[in-house]
Structure 1
Amino acid sequence: MEGIMSKLPEHLKVLIAEMKGVMAKGLAATPGYKEPGWKGYRFSMLFNSDATKKVYEEYDFPDNSIILSSFPKTGTNWIAEILKQMIFGFDEKAMAMMKDIPHLFSMLEGAKGEKLELWNYLSLPRTPFLTHLPAPLLNFEKIKRSHTKVIIPIRNPKDQAVSWYHFSKGPGFAPIREHLNAEWSQFLSDYVDGKQPVPVTKPGEGYAEFLLGWNEYKDDPNVLFVHFENLKKDPTNEIRRMAKFLAIDLNEEQISVVRERTSFDTMKKTQEDSTSDSDMNAVRKSMNLIRKGQVGSWKDTFTVAQSEMMDDMMSKKLSGTDIEFIYQ
C-alpha cells in the first residue's frame, strides 16, 4: 500500500488515516442513532445517508464490479471472505493491497463518499463492495450499465434474529444501546415491529422489506441469491455456483483452497489471532463477527409462540412471492 499511498491525493491519505483510527478505537466511540435521513431511511453509527446519496446519484461503478448486498447477520462476513479469496486469494500482490484498505472504504454507505475515489488508483482484477443498503437505495440502472454483479444472502429469519440479538449486545453497539432491549422477548417484539435502528431500514421495516426490494430483481442475470443454509451444507457447490455467476475461472483445487480458507474454524482462528494486523480483522475482533455460524440455533431461544409470531409476520409480508427459507 505504501507505493499506492504516495500516489494518492492528500485528502484520501487523511481519510484513510482517519478510518484506521476509528477502527482502532472501536465502534463504541462512533455516533449513535440518527433520525431518518435520505429517502426516509435510518442510518446509525458509521453509516450515513450522504455517502449513500453520493453513490446513487454520482458514482459510476467500475466495470465488472461486485456488490455483496446483505441484511445484517445473514452471512455477510463469511460470503465477503469467500469473494475476497475467489478474486484475490491466488494473487499475492492484490491480496496484500486489499489487506491494507480500511474496511469502511468497501462499504458503500460507510464513512464519507469521497472514499470511493480510492478505487480509481488501484489496479485490481475486480472491485468488490459491501453494503447493507436495500435495493431502493442502489441505482440499478448504473449497476447494469457497468455489468456489476450483485449477490444477496438469504438466511432464515429466526437464526438471523438470534444472531442479531447476540451481536448487538457487544460493546461495539454502545452508541445505540438504549434502542436495543437487552431482554430477548422485548428485543424480538421490537425487532418484528421494526422499532430498532437496524442499518439501513425505514422505521417499521426490517428484513422482510429488504428481501422484498431485491426480489424484484430475482430474475435479472446480474443478481444471485445465496442461501446461508445451503452454503453451510455444501460450501463447495455454493462456491462453485458463485464463481460461475461472477465468471471467475477457478479449478477444483482452487475451489477447495477457497473452502478451506473460509471455513468457520479457519475464520474464527484468524479472528482470535492477536498477531493479525489487518483492518478487517480489527473489525472482526471488536464486534465478534465470527460467533457460531450455526443453522437451527434459533430453537434454543424461540418459544413456540415467538416462532409462530415470526412465521406469521414473514408469511404476511412476503405473500405473493416465491421467497422461501430453509430451516433445519
Structure 2
Amino acid sequence: MAQFESCFVVDGYRFLPYHDKAKVESRAVDKFKFKPGDVIVVGFPKSGNTWLVEVLKAMYNDWGLEKYGEAESAVFLEERTLYKNYFSDKRKEFVETVKCEDIPSPRLMRTHIPATLFPCHLLKDKGVKVIHISRNPKDVLVSAYYFWKSWAHGALSTGDWEQTVNDFIEDRQAFTPWVRHVGDWSLKGIEDNVFQVTYEEMKQGLPRVVTKMANFLHRPLTEEDIDRVVRTTTVEVMRNSLSKFLVLDDDIIPEGENPMVRKGIVGDWKNHFTVAQSELFDSKIGEKIRSINPNIPYQ
C-alpha cells in the first residue's frame, strides 16, 4: 500500500485525511482573524520548522502561545482553519480549550499551507510577518521517512525507503509537490513581509540568523540574548523536551521516541540515497528548483 493514499488533492497539493477538503477548497484560512504583530513560521514539513519555532520562542519571552499544562507551543494554523478532526484527543481538547482569539499579541504561529492557498495579500494590510524556512529536499525526505515511521506508529508509512523516495518524486506525499511549495514561498521577500531562512544557514551560523530575524522583526537582541538562544535550542535540549512544545496522547508515538527531533544534521541523505536514487532525484527535483530559485539549498 502506497504512503498517504488517503490524502486528497486541492490546487495540486496533497492534504492529510484529517484536513477538511471543503475548508481547503473554500480557502477557510482567508477568514482567520490575523492580528497586527502576528509572526508565522512557514515551511514544508520536516524543513526545520520546529527548530525555528523554538529559536523564536527563546528570542523573546512575550509571545502569545498555546499554553496547556507544561507545553507552550506556537499556534498551528491548520488546526484553527482547515481541520475536520484531530489526530489526538489531547490536541482536540487543547484547541477547544485555548481559543485563538484570546491569545495575546504578539502571537507566534506555524503552518505548512502553500503560498497559493494562503492569504499572502493580507500580510501587510494586517501587519503580519512570515518567516519561511527551506531545506535541502534530500534531507527533508530522510527526516520525513523517520517521522512517519514513528508518527501514529507508522499508520501513514509503508516503512519502505524506496517507496518513500518514489512517493516524494511523484508528488504523493503530504503537501507535495515540494518544488512548487518551496518555490512559491521562496520567491516572496521583505517587500511582502516575508523573511527567508534556510536550515543550512541556521546550522552554519545560528547567531547570525538570529540577528537577522531580530532585525526583520524590529526587535534587536543583545549578544547575551543571542548566546542564550543558541545554548537553549540545541538538538540535545529539544530532543529531551518534547512535552514542552507539543501536546499529544501517549499512544500517538512509541514510548521514548521524539519524531519531531532526530539527528538535526546536514547531509544525512548521503547515508540513505543510492547513487541511482540521488540521480533520479536530481533530474526530477533538483533541476526544477534550480530553475525557479537557485538560492534554495540543494545537493
TM-score strictly above 0.5: yes
What is the CA distance between 1:257 and its match in structure 2? 0.9
AA in 2 matched with 1:69: V
- Determine whether 1:67 maps to 2:40: yes
Partner Cα separation in structure 2 for residue 291 and residue 42 of structure 1: 25
1:188 to 162, 165, 171: 165
2:16 to 28, 40, 44: 44
* Structure 2 counterpart of 1:280: 246
What is the CA distance between 1:248 and its match in structure 2? 1.9
* Structure 2 counterpart of 1:151: 131
AA in 2 matched with 1:249: P
Distance 1:55 1:260, change over 3 A: farther
What is the CA distance between 1:77 and its match in structure 2? 0.7
- Determine whether 1:87 maps to 2:64: no
Partner Cα separation in structure 1 for residue 80 and residue 190 of structure 2: 32
Q: How does 1:282-301 map to 2 (within 5 A)?
A: 282=248, 286=253, 288-301=259-272
Classify the secondary structure of the residue corresponding to 2:109.
strand
Is the Cα–Cα contact under 8 Å of residues 48 and 109 in structure 1 kept in the other structure?
A: no
* Structure 2 counterpart of 1:269: 240
Partner Cα separation in structure 1 for residue 283 and residue 232 of structure 2: 38
Q: How does 1:240-251 map to 2 (within 5 A)?
A: 240-251=211-222
AA in 1 matched with 2:15: F
* Structure 1 counterpart of 2:188: 217
What is the CA distance between 1:49 and its match in structure 2? 4.2
* Structure 2 counterpart of 1:120: 101
AA in 1 matched with 2:159: A
Gaps in structure 2 of 5+ consecutive residues: 84-94
Q: Whose helix proportion is higher, 1 or 2?
A: 1
- Determine whether 1:167 maps to 2:143: no
* Structure 2 counterpart of 1:207: 178
- Determine whether 1:311 maps to 2:282: yes
* Structure 1 counterpart of 2:78: 109
Distance 1:312 1:324, change over 3 A: farther
Is the Cα–Cα contact under 8 Å of residues 8 and 21 in structure 2 kept in the other structure?
A: no
1:261-312 Cα distance to aligned partner (Å, 9 max, x none): 11111112223xxxx5x46164899352111101011111111121111122
AA in 2 matched with 1:122: I
CA RMSD of aligned residues (A): 3.1
AA in 1 matched with 2:279: E
Is the Cα–Cα contact under 8 Å of residues 155 and 229 in structure 1 kept in the other structure?
A: yes
Distance 1:59 1:111, change over 3 A: closer
Partner Cα separation in structure 1 for residue 51 and residue 140 of structure 2: 14
What is the CA distance between 1:320 and its match in structure 2? 3.4
Q: Whose strand proportion is higher, 1 or 2?
A: 2
What is the CA distance between 1:254 and its match in structure 2? 0.9
Classify the secondary structure of the residue corresponding to 1:320.
helix
What is the CA distance between 1:130 and its match in structure 2? 0.7
Distance 1:47 1:239, change over 3 A: farther
AA in 2 matched with 1:141: H
**Greater mean deviation of Cα atoms: 147-156 or 101-110:** 101-110
Classify the secondary structure of the residue corresponding to 1:153.
strand
* Structure 2 counterpart of 1:10: none
Partner Cα separation in structure 1 for residue 232 and residue 245 of structure 2: 18
Partner Cα separation in structure 1 for residue 270 and residue 167 of structure 2: 19
AA in 2 matched with 1:192: I
Identity among equivalent positions (%) equals 29
* Structure 1 counterpart of 2:201: 230
What is the CA distance between 1:327 and its match in structure 2? 6.0
* Structure 1 counterpart of 2:67: 99
What is the CA distance between 1:183 and its match in structure 2? 2.0
Q: What is the TM-score normalised by the length of structure 2?
A: 0.80
Is the Cα–Cα contact under 8 Å of residues 99 and 280 in structure 1 kept in the other structure?
A: no
Partner Cα separation in structure 2 for residue 327 and residue 243 of structure 1: 26
Distance 1:243 1:105, change over 3 A: closer
Partner Cα separation in structure 2 for residue 87 and residue 51 of structure 1: 33
Classify the secondary structure of the residue corresponding to 2:59.
helix
What is the CA distance between 1:186 and its match in structure 2? 2.4
Is the Cα–Cα contact under 8 Å of residues 151 and 259 in structure 2 kept in the other structure?
A: no
